[in-house]
């Protein structure tokens, strides 16, 4: 993203011109926006490092159109790839992308992306800058290694594994779905969504269960177009095929999905070439930790990391005196602008840190220091 802001006007104009030329010339299956991108270069066996945001979301740096650095969410729940309108222009419309490349030199070339202004398509460093959707991912078999925080563009378990579980997938609206069950009761077709930090069930699904788990915490959940207040509970006997983690945290929301809290229990391989997902359990679960929200009870605005939008009553942040509506200036002397959304949550989830000093502006306009202590 080093050249992103400086390249803003040039990129917007260039993208628009190229899109017009692309559509007029009929390149890529007659200019159809669903055309398969051309892939080139790179070593599929070379891993790509990712940021693991909230401990469950894969964010990878991509270089777009040879000069624009974007931190993009790898999202099997999105049928299309999304880029920020603040850079590429044409909000809520299509833009032509000449290339999108990763650190292992694998590139997607000559395709159409969707340009928007959303929580996941922002134009600033330290935030979500876009989404890599199934339109690109399906060109490879993709391995998500949650433990090592790496992504591979091939099936790393081609030779099998003793504990391997394979589940079939089918497509609805160009997105992968499978059947899940809870307490042995089939819940029907459910989206396989690496772009969801938590596995999701609906209130109706929860009410139908024999287990009545206590609410762990609440938060405001941001989607591509909207947001909703949701609750989180621990859940047992949630299965996809024969893959049944002992317990996962699920989000109670408006639509169901198999999300990050399920996938992080496994080396997860979307084998698009065979329409299956392969799940190899991590028997060492040391990589599974509380997110920054869980650990501190503090929720930061996905659009602006200085803005505290929710504080869980009774959590460590609440007990320390932090309140909704406070504005963060710095944490432990680090300016919030230097941390961004990714940085502040990485900081709050770091179990080697137990003392936090927040410099904040209160809702009364006063500047105060607030100490937050978390027991080891």
Structural domain contains residue 287: no
Among 229, 259, 281, give the residue marking a domain's end. Answer: 281
Task: Please state, in angstroms and rounded to a whole number, the distance separating the CA atoms of residues 56 and 62.
Answer: 19
Q: Give the N- to C-terminal CA distance of the chain in Å, as an integer.
A: 36
Q: How do residues 123-182 score in pLDDT, each as one tens digit? A: 999 999 999 999 999 999 999 999 999 999 999 998 888 899 999 999 999 999 999 999
pLDDT above 90: residue 317: yes
Q: How do residues 335-363 score in pLDDT, each as one tens digit? A: 999 999 999 999 999 999 999 999 999 99
Tokens read off for 35: 């055309």
Structural domain contains residue 149: no
C-alpha distances in Å from residue 90, one per residue of 71, 131, 147, 177, 277: 20, 17, 38, 31, 35
Examine the domain organization and report whether 300 and 268 are in the same domain. no
Closest by CA to 88, choosing from 55, 66, 116, 128, is: 116
pLDDT, residue 35, reads 61
Q: How do residues 184-226 score in pLDDT, each as one tens digit? A: 999 989 999 999 999 999 999 999 999 999 999 999 888 777 7
Share of the chain above pLDDT 70, in %: 91
pLDDT, residue 72, reads 98
pLDDT, residue 29, reads 31
CATH number at residue 183: 2.40.70.10
Examine the domain organization and report whether 134 and 178 are in the same domain. no
Examine the domain organization and report whether 87 and 176 are in the same domain. no
pLDDT above 80: residue 33: no
Examine the domain organization and report whether 20 and 122 are in the same domain. yes
Examine the domain organization and report whether 48 and 120 are in the same domain. yes
pLDDT, residue 223, reads 78
Examine the domain organization and report whether 96 and 38 are in the same domain. yes
Residue 13's contacts (CB-CB under 8 Å, 6 or more residues apart) are 89
Examine the domain organization and report whether 296 and 367 are in the same domain. yes
Task: Please state, in angstroms and rounded to a whole number, the distance separating the CA atoms of residues 65 and 1.
Answer: 12
Examine the domain organization and report whether 300 and 245 are in the same domain. no
pLDDT, residue 30, reads 31
132-166 CB burial, b ≥16 within 10 A, e <16: bbbbbbbbbbbbbbbeeebbbbbbbbeeeeeebbb
| Number of domains making up the chain | 3
Task: Please state, in angstroms and rounded to a whole number, the distance separating the CA atoms of residues 60 and 73.
Answer: 7
pLDDT grade, residue 17 (50/70/90)?
A: very low
pLDDT, residue 237, reads 96
Examine the domain organization and report whether 253 and 347 are in the same domain. no
Structural domain contains residue 144: no
pLDDT grade, residue 228 (50/70/90)?
A: confident
CB atoms within 10 A of CB 228: 13
Examine the domain organization and report whether 274 and 315 are in the same domain. no
> 């709050």: which residue's tokens?
348
CATH number at residue 98: 2.40.70
Q: Considering the entire predicted model, what is its pTM?
A: 0.90
pLDDT, residue 222, reads 85
pLDDT above 90: residue 8: no
Q: How do residues 233-282 score in pLDDT, each as one tens digit? A: 999 999 999 999 999 999 999 999 999 999 999 999 999 999 999 999 99
pLDDT, residue 12, reads 44
Examine the domain organization and report whether 231 and 306 are in the same domain. no
CATH number at residue 341: 2.30.42.10
Question: HEC profile for the chain?
Answer: CCCCCCCHHHHHHHHHHHHHHHHHHCHHHHCCCCCCCEEECCCCCCCEECEEECCCEEEEEEEECCCEEEEEEECCCCCCCEEEHHHHCCCCEEEEEEEEECCCCCEEEEEEEEEECCCCCCCCCCCCCCEECHHHHCCCCEEEECCCCEEECCCCCCCCCCCCEEEECEEECCEEEEEEEECCEEEEEEEECCCCCCEEECHHHHHCCCCCCCCCEEEEEECCCCEEEEEEEEECCEEECCECCCCEEEEECCCCEECHHHHCCEEEEEEHHHCEEEEEECCCCCCCCCCHHHHHCEEECCCCCCEEEEECCCCHHHHHCCCCCCEEEEECCEEHHHHHHHHHHHHHHCCCCCEEEEEEECCCCCEEEEEEECCC
Structural domain contains residue 180: yes
Structural domain contains residue 107: yes
Share of the chain above pLDDT 90, in %: 84
Mean pLDDT estimate for the chain = 90
pLDDT grade, residue 20 (50/70/90)?
A: very low
Q: Phi/psi of residue 283, each to 5°?
A: -80, -25
Structural domain contains residue 329: yes
Structural domain contains residue 61: yes
**What is the domain extent for residue 252?**
165-281
Structural domain contains residue 125: yes
Examine the domain organization and report whether 273 and 298 are in the same domain. no
pLDDT, residue 118, reads 94
pLDDT, residue 162, reads 87
**Would you say 196 and 274 are in contact if contact means Cβ atoms under 8 Å apart?**
no
């Amino acid at each position: 993203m080093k050249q992103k802001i400086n390249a803003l006007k040039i990129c917007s104009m260039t993208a628009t011109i190229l899109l017009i030329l692309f559509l007029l010339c009929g390149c890529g299956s007659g200019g159809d926006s669903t055309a398969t991108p051309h892939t080139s270069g790179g070593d599929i066996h070379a891993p790509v490092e990712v940021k693991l945001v909230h401990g469950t979301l894969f964010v990878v740096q991509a270089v777009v159109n040879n000069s624009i650095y974007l931190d993009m969410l790898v999202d099997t729940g999105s049928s299309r790839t999304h880029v920020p309108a603040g850079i590429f222009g044409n909000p809520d419309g299509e833009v032509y992308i000449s290339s999108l490349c990763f650190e292992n030199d694998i590139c997607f070339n000559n395709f159409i992306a969707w340009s928007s202004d959303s929580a996941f398509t922002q134009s600033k460093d330290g935030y979500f800058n876009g989404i890599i959707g199934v339109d690109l991912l399906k060109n490879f078999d993709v391995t998500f290694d949650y433990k090592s925080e790496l992504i591979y563009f091939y099936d790393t378990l081609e030779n099998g594994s003793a504990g391997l579980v394979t589940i079939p997938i089918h497509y609805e609206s160009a997105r992968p779905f499978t059947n899940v069950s809870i307490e042995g009761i089939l819940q029907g077709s459910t989206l396989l969504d690496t772009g969801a930090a938590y596995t999701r069930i609906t209130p109706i699904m929860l009410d139908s269960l024999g287990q009545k788990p206590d609410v762990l915490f609440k938060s405001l959940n941001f989607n591509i177009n909207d947001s909703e207040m949701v609750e989180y509970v621990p859940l047992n006997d949630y299965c996809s095929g024969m893959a049944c983690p002992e317990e996962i945290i699920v989000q109670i929301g408006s639509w169901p999905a198999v999300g990050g809290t399920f996938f992080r229990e496994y080396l997860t391989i979307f084998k698009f070439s065979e329409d299956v997902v392969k799940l190899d359990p991590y028997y060492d679960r040391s990589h599974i930790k509380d997110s920054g929200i869980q650990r501190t009870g503090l929720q930061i605005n996905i659009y602006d990391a200085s803005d505290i939008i929710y504080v869980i009553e009774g959590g460590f942040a609440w007990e320390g005196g932090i309140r909704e509506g406070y504005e963060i200036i710095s944490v432990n002397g680090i300016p919030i602008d230097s941390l961004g959304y990714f940085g502040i949550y990485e900081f709050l989830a770091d179990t080697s840190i137990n003392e936090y000093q927040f410099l904040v502006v209160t809702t009364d306009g006063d500047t105060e220091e607030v100490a937050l202590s978390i027991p080891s």
